[in-house]
Amino acid sequence: MKIIKSLFAVMLLTSSSISLAQKQAYVTADNGLTVRERPNPKARKVGKLDYGDAIEITERTNINLTLIDEGEQIDGNWVKIQSPSITGYVFNGFLSKDRIVNPIEFRYIGLSMKLKNLKTTEEFKIHTFHYTDTIKIGVTLGDSPEGKILIVNNKDYKRISVFQRFESSITIMNEGPHCDLTEWKHYHSQWKPIEAITKTKFKTLSYNQGGRQQFIDIDIRALKEEVENKCGKDWSNYVKGIKTLNDYPVGISINGIFLKVLITDQNDKVSEKIIEFKIPMGC
């Protein structure tokens, strides 16, 4: 985060007492967190921690600090920390007790986008659009790109716009594995712009239960035939009595979430890039 550029600090030193602590924490500052020799924003810098770094809090001071970071007020205290390479003082407003998942990054010429705290099945965290207009990302079961923070670092372009939609499919539920019809019929939601929190920070959309249950009109007989063709005759027994998509064991689940990135250059030429997140449907 741009701590230095957007900083105003109010320090209240009420006494010289320092409480001892030993607790692991993780850095949440997008652009890293400065470590200083003393608990003072003007003290000498002794190093910098990266986003997601794990550190140990060894002392807690009663020196309060308030920062304004990109229009948001953040309150906290100075704490003494140690890492494998650095010992010093940091502002704990950019520390979290929860382990940080390294962001997944998407790069294009003069553009970088980082999506925070998404668990994926991908071996690599950095993906480029240099030779493709679409990138597909596998998401870990139980997680979703919904409600995540997207950090956009735009160096060269006139405007960056980001839109989101989802794709859903039919699944036939059972006590164990599901019969997922991901290659059959789909419902596609409309593209909607994602929320801009600041000029560089966006929050992806989340979908409520009502939105997730929308689907196109289908022929129930065709559905039964697809279940048998895809999953076998044993599965067709589960759906022989259904009359509508609302009847158990039929379910509708999101199997894909898409981000559409419109890149407008200085000559008003628009390029379109798509990020597809593949969502596991069942167990």
Q: Consecutive sets of 10 residues in the chain, 283 residues long: mean pLDDT of each? A: 41 42 83 92 93 91 85 89 93 90 92 94 93 96 95 93 97 88 96 92 94 94 95 90 93 96 96 97 63
Question: 3-class SS at 222?
Answer: helix
Pick the CATH number of 12-96 from 2.40.50.180, 3.30.70.1520, 3.60.15.10, 2.30.30.40: 2.30.30.40
Tokens of 246: 């609302």
Q: What is the dihedral of CA 160, 166, 167, 169, to 10 degrees?
A: 160
Q: How far apart are CA 217 and CA 186, in angstroms?
A: 10
pLDDT of residue 11: 40
pLDDT of residue 175: 79
Q: How far apart are CA 234 and CA 204, in angstroms?
A: 40
Give the chain's end-to-end CA distance (angstroms, integer).
38
The 8-class DSSP code of residue 92 comes to: G
pLDDT of residue 15: 37
Domain limits, the chain: 12-96, 104-278
pLDDT of residue 22: 61
pTM recorded for the entire structure: 0.78
pLDDT of residue 31: 79
Q: How far apart are CA 229 and CA 232, in angstroms?
A: 6
